[in-house]
Amino acid sequence: MTGGTGTVDEASATPEASATSRPVVARFDHVSMVFEGNTAVDDLSLDIYEGEFFSLLGPSGCGKTTSLRMLGGFEEPTRGRIFLAGKDVTFQAPYTRDVNTVFQSYALFPHLDVFENVAFGLRRRRTSKADVKRRVGEILEIVDLPNFERRRPNQLSGGQQQRVALARALVNEPSLLLLDEPMSALDAKLRRQMQVELKRIQTRVGITFLYVTHDQEEAMTMSDRLAVMRHGRIEGIGSPQEIYDSPTTEFVATFLGASNLLAGNVTGVEGSIATVTLTHGWSVRVGVGRLPEARVGTPVKVGVRPEKISLGTGAAAPGSDHNSLRGRVKVSTFTGVGNQYLVEMPWGTDVTVYAQNIGEATAPRSGEEVVLTWPIEHTFAVRPMASGSTEDETNTGDNDE
Amino acid sequence: MPAVVWLVVLFVVPLVIMLSLSLKTCNPASGACTMTWNWGELPRQVNLYRTEFFTSLEYGAAATIVDLILSFPIAYWIAFYGGRKKNFFLMMLLVPFFVSFVIRTLVWEFILSPSGFFLTFLRHAHLVSANFHVLGTGSAVIAGLAYNYLPFTALPLYVALERIDRRVLEAAYDLYASRREAFMRVILPLSVPGIFAAFLLTFIPAFGDYVNQQILGGTSSTMIGTVIQNTFLVTGDYAAGSALSVVVLVISLIGIWLYSRVLGSRSIEEYL
């Protein structure tokens, strides 16, 4: 769960605001997919813009892979339309579509060597021999596998196989590249390496990437934009920073990074600031724009990310632009880069706090009374999720680290 | 260790006995054999029964090819479209083979006999002439061989097709291959080891078979299996019979050697 803070800054550095002015490469138009009575994808509408690295993020069974497979032509939607470059391709066979896929298990042709694997698509398109040779050579250079032409897939490591799968798809210069959890078979270290590599390759070739993953860190690190999916629907969409800082649903707040969520009701709205009284009488303030509904009486959960909270030991009075709560440190864990605290609120709820290890002399110890303060601007509010349905799903997000 | 004992008792010992017998000289009347290092017996038998060897090769190959053509669609369909009933369909393929080999062949003799319902029907429908017959021809032998050895072809083909990763097929479609191209470029090449294994598993027993020829072939043309059987059991010349068996064994080994040269010896084990 420590991936959150470090990756946000990297993501915010990539320009993405201009995405909406670019042409649409792929469009889901009210697409639903019902499979044996289960709704895998539920009324999905989504535009993917040219040149962007877009991720579909969600737990297993959320419909992300089904959505990708419908773009690839391997599944037909039950309802709705799918467009590629403005053309309706809903019922077109995969081999007629200008997209290529990097499969989860790579699905390399075991009877062909690396060169022939990569050349497969070019040969089906009757590319001239000289062109095939040149383009395969170029792409193997880009994925850093020169001199591997005559190897068989079973003579390659997992990481190398993945590069071949990537090269095999990219060499065709599709208008859209679909990647179906391509890193899931790699170990953690290699995965991190390939994330950087994949981003580099995407920037270099300029092809639109649609990336499907259940790993929130992976999605945040690489994406220009991402959509969080659950139960076949999109729960949140935007740049990684937007989604991380301003989650719009409880699910997004807990699936993407860690969140402290406190249940309460809106009890007052003054100008741009609303007051939320927590279930046990304490209150916090939140920007009106962050509320799902700016009406007194609305039940909400107010949230704050663990790294946004600072801990004080004295009776520090918070400024007018800060929220403040009191609690007692229950568990204090030193993690090297910082300390992780579990602070128990007077009413029994635990709040997680991350403090960076920047050489401060006294870290609060277990049992100590502390004051938690954080800026109002870092406070968000979401509509409470229907009870009982959160646990299993939110955990899957955390386990991927 | 027990495995080694089994191998020696059941495999090495009989093989050594057969090889040494082929070099002895036997007295058919008394059945006594003496070692004479008679190397000349092998080429002599090959020369003597050249026609029968070629007939066996021809019938065996024809039956194997018929089986490959018949089995491929069956195996393909079960592997790709069998769904949850795959095992049921494979069972269906095998059920007839729970009946004894000889009885099954005898039933075919009954079905194909001139007074059998099949030919009677064809004659009444005026599809064949009055003196048309199937029994006693090479075609009947090939048909019998093809029928009896069909599972030996279908099962290795099924195994080969079944293990083709469906995602590899999707990858082919993704890379602009039409259904026909995907079949020719991916499915067929990936099933080559299975085709080869099926060929060996069918051809080797069909080549040495004598039951089908004796029951369905009549006196038309003799296969080497029949010659070996007669040499052993009618003539009682064990040396000549062993020499002929060694030749059949060598021909089979050449096939297996070719297979392992082309596809590697590991894939033989996988299909047997």
Domain ranges of chain B: 42-271
Helix axes B101-112, B138-162, angle to 10 degrees: 130
> H or E stretch including A372?
strand A369-375
Residue partners of A105: CB distance under 8 A and separation at least 6 = A185, B165, B167
Please tell me which residue of chain B has the smallest CA distance to A171. B175
Contacts with B170 from chain A: Cβ below 8 Å: 74, 94, 101, 103, 107
DSSP letters, A195-260, are HHHHHHHHHHH--EEEEEES-HHHHHHH-SEEEEEETTEEEEEE-HHHHHHS-SBHHHHHHSS--E
In terms of pLDDT, which residue wins out, B129 or B187? B187
- Hey, are the CB atoms on B170 and A107 less than 8 Å from each other? yes
- Do A329 and A365 touch, CB atoms closer than 8 A? yes
Which residues lie closer than 8 Å to B232 by C-beta, 6 or more apart? Answer: B238, B241
Gap from B1 CA to chain A (nearest CA, Å): 34
Give residue A235's pLDDT: 92
Band of residue A3 on the pLDDT scale cut at 50, 70, 90? very low
Cβ separation A120–B178 shorter than 8 A: no
Q: Which residues of A touch B176 (CB under 8 A)?
A: 95, 121, 124-125, 172
Q: What is the CATH number of domain B42-271?
A: 1.10.3720.10
Tell me if B168 and A125 make a contact (CB, 8 A cut-off).
no
pLDDT of residue A121: 95
B215 contacts: CB under 8 Å, gap ≥ 6: B102, B105, B106, B108, B109, B144
Average pLDDT of A147-170? 92
pLDDT, position A315: 62
What is the structure's pLDDT at B272? 52
Chain A closest CA to B78's CA: distance in Å?
A: 21
User: Would you place residue B267 in the very low, low, confident or very high pLDDT band (cuts 50, 70, 90)?
Assistant: low
User: Quick one: pLDDT at residue B37?
Assistant: 84
Q: Looking at residues B218-236, what average pLDDT do you find?
A: 85
> Does position A8 have pLDDT exceeding 90, yes or no?
no
**How many Å lie between the alpha carbon of B108 and the closest alpha carbon of chain A?**
42
Give chain A positions within 8 Å (CB) of B165: 105, 107
**C-alpha distances in Å from residue A188, one per residue of A60, A184, A194, A282, A400:** 19, 9, 10, 42, 10
- Domains with residue ranges and CATH for chain A: 3-98+174-245 (3.40.50.300), 259-385 (2.40.50.140)
pLDDT, position B7: 87
pLDDT of residue B269: 58
- The percentage of chain A sitting over the pLDDT mark of 90, rounded to a whole number, equals 58
Q: Which of A120, A135, A173, A210 to mutate to test the interface with B (most CBs of B within 10 A)?
A: A120
pLDDT at A361: 61
Test mutation, B165, B174, B266, chain A, max A CBs within 10 A: B174
| Better-predicted residue by pLDDT, B225 or A398 | B225
Q: pTM (2 decimals)?
A: 0.79
Inter-chain touch A120–B172, beta carbons under 8 Å = yes
B236 exposure class (CB count in 10 Å sphere: 0-12, 13-18, 19+): middle
Among A250-254, A313-317, A381-385, B59-63, the minimum mean pLDDT is found in: A313-317
Average pLDDT over residues B139-160: 93
Q: Among A147, A141, A152, A215, which residue's Cα sits nearest to residue A181?
A: A215
Strands A322-334 and A299-304 come out as: unpaired
Q: Which amino acid is at A23?
A: P
**C-alpha Rg value of chain B to the nearest Å:** 22
Distance from CA of B76 to the nearest CA of A (A): 19
pLDDT at A13 exceeding the cut of 80: no
Which of B168, B173, B186 lies closest to A95 in CB terms?
A: B173
Between A101, A104, A124, which is nearest B177 by CB?
A124
Instruction: Please give the single-letter amino acid code of residue A228.
Output: V
Residue A390: per-residue pLDDT: 43
Distance, in Å, from the CA atom of B158 to the CA atom of B164, rounded to the nearest integer, reads 10
> Can you tell me the mean pLDDT for B72-92?
92
Average model confidence (pLDDT) across chain B = 88
Mean pLDDT for A157-161 is 90
The answer to whether the CB atoms of A95 and B176 lie below 8 A apart is yes
Mean per-residue pLDDT over chain A, rounded: 86
Q: How confident is the model at residue A143 (pLDDT cuts 50, 70, 90)?
A: confident
Closest chain B C-alpha to A70 CA, distance in angstroms: 12
| Beta-carbon count within 10 A of B18 CB | 16
DSSP state at residue A58:
-
- How far is Cα A163 from Cα A142, in angstroms, rounded to an integer? 10
Residue A383: DSSP 8-state: B
Cα distance between residue B154 and residue B199, in whole Å: 10
Question: What per-residue confidence (pLDDT) applies to B268?
Answer: 56
Is the pLDDT reported for residue A389 higher than 80?
no
The pLDDT value given to residue A16: 44
CB A261 within 8 A of CB A284: no
Q: Is B36 on the interface with A (CB under 8 A)?
A: no
With residues binned 3-state (H G I as helix, E B as strand, rest as coil), the percentages for chain B, rounded to 5, are 75, 0, 20
Report chain B residues whose CB lies below 8 A from the CB of A65: none
Element (H, E) at B187: none
Neighbour order of strands in the sheet with A24-35? A38-49, A24-35, A79-84, A87-88
**pLDDT digit string (tens) for A107-139?**
999 999 999 999 999 999 999 999 999 999 999
- How far apart CA A205 and CA B35 sit, in angstroms, is 79
Q: Which has more confidence, A8 or A181?
A: A181
Residue A366 has pLDDT above 90, yes or no: no
Q: Tally the C-alpha atoms within 13 A of residue A160's C-alpha that lie toward its C-beta.
A: 15
Q: What angle do CA B129, B131, B134 make, to 5 degrees?
A: 95
- Partner residues linked to B99 by β-bridges: none
Smallest CA-to-CA distance from A58 within A208, A212, A182 is with A212
Give A283's strand partners.
A277
Which uninterrupted H or E stretch holds A362? none
What pLDDT was estimated at residue A118?
A: 96
Would you place residue A317 in the very low, low, confident or very high pLDDT band (cuts 50, 70, 90)?
low
What burial class does residue A255 get, using C-beta atoms within 10 Å of its C-beta: 0-12 exposed, 13-18 middle, 19+ buried? Answer: buried
Helix (H, G, I), strand (E, B) or coil at B234: helix
Q: Kind of pairing, strands A208-213 and A176-180?
A: parallel
What's the mean pLDDT in B80-104? 90
The token pair at A13 is: 């550095």
Q: In what order do the strands lie in the sheet with A208-213?
A: A99-102, A176-180, A208-213, A53-57, A225-230, A233-238
Q: How confident is the model at residue A318 (pLDDT cuts 50, 70, 90)?
A: low
Tell me which residue in A94, A104, A172 faces B173 most closely, judged by beta carbons.
A94
Among A380-384, B29-33, B199-203, B205-209, where is mean pLDDT lowest? B29-33
Question: pLDDT, tens digit, for every residue of B30-76?
Answer: 777 888 888 888 888 889 999 999 999 999 999 999 999 999 999 99
Interface test with A, best of B175, B192, B195, B270 (most A CBs within 10 A): B175
**Lookup: tokens for B265:** 């010896």
- Render pLDDT for A283-312 as a digit per residue (tens, 0 to 9): 899 998 888 888 888 899 999 999 999 888
CA distances from A174 to A51, A72, A389, B106 (A): 12, 11, 39, 62
| Exposure of B216 in the CB half-sphere (CA atoms within 13 A) | 30
- Per-residue pLDDT, averaged over A33-59, amounts to 93
CA distance A299 to A331: 30
Mean pLDDT of A263-268: 90
Closest CA to A225 of A208, A204, A248: A208
Q: How confident is the model at residue A321 (pLDDT cuts 50, 70, 90)?
A: confident
User: How much helix, strand and coil, in percent to the nearest 5, is found in chain A?
Assistant: 30, 35, 35
When pLDDT is averaged across residues B124-134 and rounded to a whole number, the result is 82
| B157 pLDDT more than 80 | yes
Q: Is A102 exposed, middle or buried (0-12, 13-18, 19+ CB in 10 A)?
A: buried
What is the least distance, in Å, from the CA of A231 to any CA of chain B?
A: 25
| Cβ proximity of B243 and B41 under 8 Å | yes
Q: Which of B166, B168, B176, B266 to mutate to test the interface with A (most CBs of A within 10 A)?
A: B176
